Structure 1
């Protein structure tokens, strides 16, 4: 038995790490085994955030939580009570006498239920005792302390309590002491729950960054020439139980492939190295493939977003030092006479397109555009690109007239073509940036053929931190799932990447089919030295590896700059964007040996 215990805690918002109150006031998790010290999960970042309240006009009123208390309902189900608070953790008068209620089976995926009404005044402190019978204790702003029995009704998915059994106490029961949390920055312990070995193992695999633990190469292989040798791959194994295949650079210069022989070959598992940043002052990067070449494009912060440059190379690593060529600037067309943002490569049918955002003049008029490469055109020649076309609705009218549209991306499923973009209303009120989806005409992808639908709003405090923003979407389709990563919060060190997902056989236009992760999958906590990572895109190389291009700040005050990192797919098959090169391939495991039979043809 591993005797796992799970600690639920908040973080002290008066920290020096720039970890805002909107983030500190959420439920964090740490795990301990056999009575040892608790170790933080998810990079000491929150995993449970309450949903903001949606006002009548659609705007989001941000909420946070304090005092998270976890307890077991039955063998495979847990509950969490917490106190709803305002954006900075202040008292929320709209939640008088109420507790936030959640259920979870795995402490990764949560359901937020109807609040539990237990009193009539503001609740300042809550505690749960589930050792013998489920009891909830709470202290109100008046100073009075109460206790009541509670239960969970599975049929209606609701917590209930009987007011008749409510009792007034002289004081709150004592807190459980002795938590070993010295290694957790700013930790404010709230509750501990015992979990099974299986669940503890899963949480470690899911909420800690995996690492390369073993690399296997086949033995006793027969090869006829060096070309066949190059096809042999190593299987890299990771601490979360996942694997991937990696190319091997063999030291075979002295091997005579014209002679039959048994040899022991030495090799080194191949790993491309990407410095960060690989492109300074380049934001919203995207890598595309077209006719055997790789192309890199990004927002140009160096000239305040007035031009777009492309790089071309034979491989992803070669893009780092490839020459840049300008293919569009603010002087070429009246319709794009000022800002140029967020370019992306997309192939529809047999044609290459660049989706981007532009404005003729004011920031408030930024809109989505599509630029097509001419037939037989060269992406590196600006004259081979057609003039940008503004995206329009089914009736030919502009996509949006009362605000901005930007960061449009494209994906194809069910033989149909869809676009997702960020849209922000300014008139009569700024509602923040939301994600919309629509189907477009494959032959004219700037033409919508369905009405726009909202699929995401910045409801959680990590995505409305300092700014109410959902933007920068990009899709991955893999193993029957459709994943849509997107960015949230302000474009500083608070910027993060969130995740939407759905089963690929469902209708993407139905907002109910999309599930939003409760916490972001890439933050300033993920990779040291990379602040505010976000607005990312993906490309698949010849070996089937996914590469994530993203921007982050090299230092909190550094410029937005581009980076590249391999995408790891975790124990649930979901994208993990934080696997650094040292974790992806352990330096002490790069050298391999293989017994091989040389058998010339």
Structure 2
């Protein structure tokens, strides 16, 4: 049985918006926002804890000017139909646009080499992901289900109060939407509207006969927390009525253990091939100077989680810091 003390925590310091993918080659691949917000890097290792010591390889750098020149946020690496893809958000400046929000749009780069660590020359820009709405958008993820590829992301609708809502669409290919965006969730509960009205950072996992979509809500300080949606695997995933939304957070700050603002999660699998792992970022203090987005100390953490009798995930609480792991025999 995989337990929390199996891993050091934080796993990787000063890496926010973490994403870990275990590939069929046996490697774990990791990417995340770097504090300078100026590049995309990948690291890989045979074990999750090995990622803490793996050397990062830069595969893309921000442009000198234009729509991909500032604030490179939340990259995710995926392997789709025999090629590698990284989804990320970028902006033309560090300042807000006319709507008072950052000016991010979503982009994709691709690598046809079977080795995504090959370097910058191996990656090709596929351009902006067009959603039909030219507004603040970020935090895209993709998942395949029933022979269809889906794109899920966060975006601002000028007609809806708040910073961002969650949307889904089917894809024609890994960088082009096939269907019109459908909104699945918007900030509406008190815990989603602290500081800012936010739904962002979606992640999808399947368990038995259901798909679960977690997301993050509120400002990126101690109020940051995770919500969740659920749909049957047989449902029409593009129909908002297919998704049930929790009215309470499923993962949030633990004041007693000084773990604040856990969120922007992803999912992976432990080395045993069975245990589901929650990947997220978190801080260990609340006294943040200035904008929390420019405080570098959101650290990558990982922990196993279980499923309750109803088949829903039980994430527990953010694990305390642990600098002395006790690896189990595999």
Q: TM class, shorter-chain normalised?
A: 0.7 to 0.9
Q: What is residue 392 of structure 1 aligned with on the other side?
A: 130
Deviations along 1:163-211, one digit per CA (max 9) or x if unpaired, are xxxxxxxxxxxxxxxxxxxxxxxxxxxxxxxxxxxxxxxxxxxxxxxxx
Structure 1: where are the runs of 5+ without partners?
A: 1-245, 248-269, 394-398, 583-589, 592-601
Q: Secondary structure at the match of 2:192?
A: coil
Q: Which has the larger radius of gyration?
A: 1
**Structure 1 pair 486–580 and aligned structure 2 pair: CA distance change class (3 A):** closer
Residue 415 in structure 1 maps to residue 144 in structure 2 = no
**Structure 1 pair 435–581 and aligned structure 2 pair: CA distance change class (3 A):** closer
Deviations along 1:7-37, one digit per CA (max 9) or x if unpaired, are xxxxxxxxxxxxxxxxxxxxxxxxxxxxxxx
Q: What is residue 33 of structure 2 aligned with on the other side?
A: 299
Q: What is residue 258 of structure 2 aligned with on the other side?
A: 529
| Structure 1 residue corresponding to 2:242, chosen from 506, 510, 513 | 513
Q: What is residue 165 of structure 2 aligned with on the other side?
A: 434
Aligned counterparts of 2:318 and 2:92: Cα–Cα separation in 1: 40
Aligned counterparts of 1:353 and 1:333: Cα–Cα separation in 2: 23
Q: Secondary structure at the match of 1:370?
A: strand
Deviations along 1:385-412, one digit per CA (max 9) or x if unpaired, are 112421024xxxxx421x2110011111
Aligned counterparts of 2:49 and 2:196: Cα–Cα separation in 1: 34
Deviation, structure 1 residue 579: 5.7
Aligned counterparts of 2:123 and 2:219: Cα–Cα separation in 1: 33
| Preserved CA contact (<8 Å) 1:568 1:579 | no
Residue 552 in structure 1 maps to residue 282 in structure 2 = yes
Q: Secondary structure at the match of 1:379?
A: helix
| Preserved CA contact (<8 Å) 2:19 2:76 | yes
Residue 360 in structure 1 maps to residue 92 in structure 2 = yes
Q: What is residue 10 of structure 1 aligned with on the other side?
A: none
| Preserved CA contact (<8 Å) 2:16 2:298 | yes
Deviation, structure 1 residue 504: 0.9
**Structure 1 pair 271–454 and aligned structure 2 pair: CA distance change class (3 A):** closer
| Structure 1 residue corresponding to 2:48, chosen from 306, 313, 316 | 316
Q: How many residues align?
A: 307
Deviation, structure 1 residue 571: 2.5
Deviations along 1:285-324, one digit per CA (max 9) or x if unpaired, are 00012322111111112x1x12222111111111111111
| Preserved CA contact (<8 Å) 1:440 1:448 | yes
| Preserved CA contact (<8 Å) 1:333 1:387 | no
| Preserved CA contact (<8 Å) 2:11 2:52 | yes
Q: Secondary structure at the match of 1:462?
A: helix
| Preserved CA contact (<8 Å) 1:272 1:317 | no
| Structure 2 residue corresponding to 1:374, chosen from 112, 134, 143 | 112
Q: What is residue 222 of structure 2 aligned with on the other side?
A: 493
Aligned counterparts of 1:383 and 1:333: Cα–Cα separation in 2: 20
Deviation, structure 1 residue 335: 4.0
CA RMSD of aligned residues (A): 2.5
Deviation, structure 1 residue 273: 3.3
Aligned counterparts of 1:387 and 1:554: Cα–Cα separation in 2: 36
